[in-house]
A and B are shown apart, each in its own frame.
Chain A
Amino acid sequence: MKTRIPITLLIAALLFFAGYAALFIAPDEATMHQIQRIFYFHLSSWMAMFTALSLAFIANVAWLVTRQPKWDWLGVSSVEVGVVSCTAGLITGVLWGRPAWGIWWTWDARLTTCFILWLLYISYLILRGLIEEPQRRATLSAVFGIFAFLDAPLVYVSNRLWRTQHPSPVIFGGQDSGLDPTMGKVLMICMAAMLGVAILVLIDRYRLERLRHELDELRLAADFRAANSNSAVTKGAL
């Protein structure tokens, strides 16, 4: 707990520096110029989403296998962080698409996949909100989470086969692809910053979920004690 404030400040500083680096340090891009600078946060959001949703998948499987509540807490926390990162990725993508492609949105494989993922994980959160009993909520949402994760590659492949306009991999593609070294460094800083924010929020969200769980247990215990003392009183009266 003591390290929390320094770490938060560190990540805030990193995020601030990342914003500065993306805006002022990174060189101008050849064709898109200033507009391309959104890319550093666009790609970083997707990295954060990918990390969070993979973590959610691991947590879902781990809950079904071990039944330790911590995996359920991790599952819901990562999905929430994943959805937020996904939203950030979609919004930065739409903002970038308008000046770069001339359209806000196109039904390309990657865009569609991310949009559907966003919908799927929002459904996951809605599902959790609609099941009362904690044990059942954890199990059924874990099952749904696993199906959603399995569906992602299918969505991607189907859209890829269907139609795609997204630029083929520019950065990690082939020999001609690649990034200016300074751009690469700025990208690394932005990714580290976004990942740092995601992990920080994730930890806090996890802690909140654990506290909620503890509160529920305390309430149950209090109800139980109250019920017991009532019955003791009745017995005494008899």
Chain B
Amino acid sequence: MSTARAAALLLSKELRLEFRTRELLTTTIVFVLVVVVLFSFAFDPTAAESRRYGPGLLWIAFLFAGSLMLNPSFAREQSNQTLDSLRMAPVSPFSILLGKMLANLIFLSMAELILVPVFAVLYNVSLAGVVGRLALVLVLGTSGLVIAGTVFSAIASHARMRELLLPILLLPILAPLLIAAVEATASLFAEQPALDRTWLAFLGGFDIVFLTASWLLSDFLLEE
């Protein structure tokens, strides 16, 4: 079976599993909302302040949400040893990883889709005219987050204290992504929004480097 087809099948399995209960999505959305509300106590969200701190706040919320919601991605395969069955299936390990990455990308993007408008309203940020470019930044940034996060979720799932371990592994690795995503978003929140192409290219480069590395290392990551 081709990698793409196997990944698509696994993606549909992940989606079906999640939409039966929607527990991951609901929890994540509530979590990011809580973070955004708590941040409003940390500084006064006037329009000028929001332009300064908003992009960072938004991405910190996504990073925290990602480092929490990516945990079950592999951990929930363990209770019934379903990962072993997946490994026995005649599909490449990378397709298993890719299916999960795509599913996580969809879940996190859905949370962002709800959070960004709420954020714009609460923090008095105007999104008119930048929606398309903002979506591009969000997709590239979230992809990098999810690629690294899914790989580390597989690593952490074998360790003790995995809920605590995943953020420790993931967040420092994502430091360059955070800088690039925040700067790109900030260029869109400015009074004269102009997308910073350097940072956009950096995000794309980050995604490519991490996707290639996880493709090369997927055999080791999922071996028994």
Contacts and interface: CB of A to CB of B under 8 A. Distances in A.
Interface of A: 64, 112, 116, 119-120, 123, 126-127, 130-133, 136, 139-140, 142-144, 146-148, 150-151, 154-155, 157-159, 161-162
Given A127-B155, A127-B165, A130-B165, 8 more contacts: A126-B165, A130-B159, A143-B155, A143-B217, A150-B210, A150-B213, A159-B176, A162-B179
A146 B209 CA distance: 12
B175 A155 contact: yes
A212 to B, nearest CB: 19
A144 B155 contact: yes
Q: 9 closest A-B pairs (Cβ-Cβ)? A: A158-B176, A130-B159, A154-B176, A119-B172, A158-B179, A130-B160, A140-B155, A131-B159, A120-B172
Nearest to B165: A130
Nearest to A118: B172
A123 B168 contact: yes
Interface string B108-141: 0000000000000000000000000000000000
A144 B155 CA distance: 8
A136 B176 contact: no
Contacts of A155: 175-176
Contacts of B107: none
Nearest to B224: A136
A126 B162 CA distance: 11
12 contacts: A123-B168, A126-B168, A130-B162, A143-B151, A143-B221, A147-B148, A147-B213, A151-B176, A155-B175, A155-B176, A159-B176, A161-B202
A119 to B, nearest CB: 4
Given A131-B159, A136-B158, A139-B223, A150 B175 contact: no
B169 interface: yes
B160 A158 contact: no
B180 interface: yes
Contacts of A130: 159-162, 165
Contacts of B223: 139
A59 to B, nearest CB: 14
Contacts of B155: 127, 140, 143-144
Contacts of B82: none
B53 to A, nearest CB: 16
A147 B180 CA distance: 18
Contacts of A162: 179, 183
B152 interface: yes
B220 A139 contact: yes
Contact of A154 (B151, B162, B165, B209): B209
Contacts of B158: 131, 133, 136, 140
Given A126-B165, A155-B176, A162-B183, A150 B209 contact: yes
B206 interface: yes
A146 B214 CA distance: 10
B46 interface: no
A126 B159 CA distance: 10
B11 to A, nearest CB: 23
Contacts of B202: 157-158, 161
B180 A148 contact: no
B173 A148 contact: yes
A34 to B, nearest CB: 35
Interface string B202-213: 100110011001
A168 to B, nearest CB: 20
B27 interface: no
A167 B156 CA distance: 39
Nearest to B160: A130
Contacts of A112: 175
Contacts of A148: 173
Contact of B176 (A119, A123, A157): A157
A150 B180 CA distance: 17
Contacts of B220: 64, 139, 142-143
B198 interface: yes
Nearest to B182: A162
